[in-house]
Amino acid sequence: MLHALQEAQRVLVPYGLLIDLRPLSVDVPLEILTPVGYQSAGLLDMSPGIKYDIAADNTFQVAIHDGNFNELLVDYLDYAYYWDTITEMKAYMDEKWKDDLIIPEAVLQQAQFLFDRHPDQSRVRLRLRMKLGKFEKQ
């Protein structure tokens, strides 16, 4: 993160904007959507990535303290991923988030139970908590 921030400092014009958009390592809900709404199967554990959140936040704080950037905005939003089946979701997670996400077995079982109630009309949704920061080069 430090190298990326240094590169942004190098290439941005004075008062140029830097956007920091990244998922936070907080527990996130796994939901099953049906024609009548959605039900939560439980929370997925994203804590393995907390060290990256802390490092990124610390790097930005140093850049602000050193006068390289001015913080204009920090906000939070949800970003949703959708899958047609639980199998598809698990395959995606195994490929993309293998070391960053823990799926409790009880949550997986509950998701499968909820999904099986309407298998032809259900979808799987995961809502990540995102951090949005807007910084201005000084």
Alpha-carbon span 127 to 120, nearest angstrom:
22
Domain residue spans of the chain? 2-137
Closest residue by Cα to residue 129 from 19, 43, 30, 27:
27
Q: Are 56 and 42 in contact (CB under 8 A)?
A: no
**DSSP secondary structure string for all residues of 75-104:** EEEEEEEEESSHHHHHHHHHHHSTTT-B--
pLDDT the model gives residue 2? 78
The count of C-alpha atoms lying within 13 angstroms of the C-alpha of 22, restricted to the half-sphere facing its C-beta, is 17
- Residue 26 C-beta-side C-alpha neighbours within 13 Å: 12
Mean pLDDT by 10 residues, the chain (138 residues): 86 96 96 95 96 94 94 97 97 93 96 94 96 97
In this prediction, residue 115 carries a pLDDT of 96
Give the contacts of 127 (CB within 8 A, at least 6 positions apart).
28, 29, 31, 78, 79, 80
The CA distance from 71 to 17, in Å, is: 10
Residue 4's pLDDT is what? 87
Distance between CA atoms of 6 and 11, rounded to whole angstroms?
9
Tell me, what's the pLDDT at 31? 98
Distance CA 39, CA 43 (A): 12
